[in-house]
Chains A and B, each alone.
Chain A
Amino acid sequence: GNSVTQMEGPVTLSEEAFLTINCTYTATGYPSLFWYVQYPGEGLQLLLKATKADDKGSNKGFEATYRKETTSFHLEKGSVQVSDSAVYFCALSDIGSARQLTFGSGTQLTVLP
């Protein structure tokens, strides 16, 4: 079956540091890949997505590239801000199961001023 593995948190960084959150996946077929973010006290919201190999999703300074050869979709940001403190979830959707997403376990990020 499908699965998503994220690097374990929590991750604590200083403001303006470089961020990488690793995400690898196992899936049959050609999944779409997503990063969702959950700010404190809120539901999840879509951060970025990529639907095919070599696609790069980007939003709010975050980027992730769909790497089929390494089955990875790592999230990066060049300079984090305190406001980026949140829980980040990697997820995939297999085209054969289009109504459902498989989520990773989430990575808590705290950015210190």
Chain B
Amino acid sequence: DVKVTQSSRYLVKRTGEKVFLECVQDMDHENMFWYRQDPGLGLRLIYFSYDVKMKEKGDIPEGYSVSREKKERFSLILESASTNQTSMYLCASSRQGPSGANVLTFGAGSRLTVL
């Protein structure tokens, strides 16, 4: 069964802490994405990557950075967590190419609370 695995389902951090959210996919997908999900706002794209060491800003990149050192792993980094980053974070991946590029496979999500 193909999977996108997010390492932490629930995290509680303090304001100012550095936070790492890890995501690993086993489908050899080229594209990987980080979204945040908030009630009433749907999913908003933070960053995405279409290749190793490549990254592109999404709609709300402020306060976040990403790392993609290996094809299967895409990390989201909060350099200094703030309370307004309390949210559900969803990682997704997809295959490159017109037929598959837009069908995303999602992880189960990481719920981050910043106190």
Residue ranges of A at the interface with B (Cβ–Cβ < 8 Å): 4, 32, 34, 36, 41-46, 49, 89, 93, 98-101, 103-106
Contacts and interface: CB of A to CB of B under 8 A. Distances in A.
B107 to A, nearest CB: 5
Given A44-B90, A89-B43, A104-B42, A99 B31 contact: yes
A103 B42 contact: yes
Interface string B43-79: 1110010100000101000000000000000000000
Interface size class of B (residues with CB under 8 A): 20 to 34
B41 interface: yes
A42 B102 contact: no
Contacts of B56: 99
Contacts of B115: none
Given A43-B90, A43-B109, A105 B102 contact: no
A101 B104 contact: yes
Interface of B: 4, 31, 33, 40-45, 48, 50, 56, 58, 90, 92, 94, 98, 101-109
A105 B40 contact: yes
B42 A32 contact: no
B75 to A, nearest CB: 17
Given A98-B101, A100-B58, A44 B48 contact: no
Given A103-B43, A105-B40, A43 B102 contact: no
Contact of A93 (B40, B50, B92, B102): B102
Nearest to B48: A99
A105 B101 contact: no
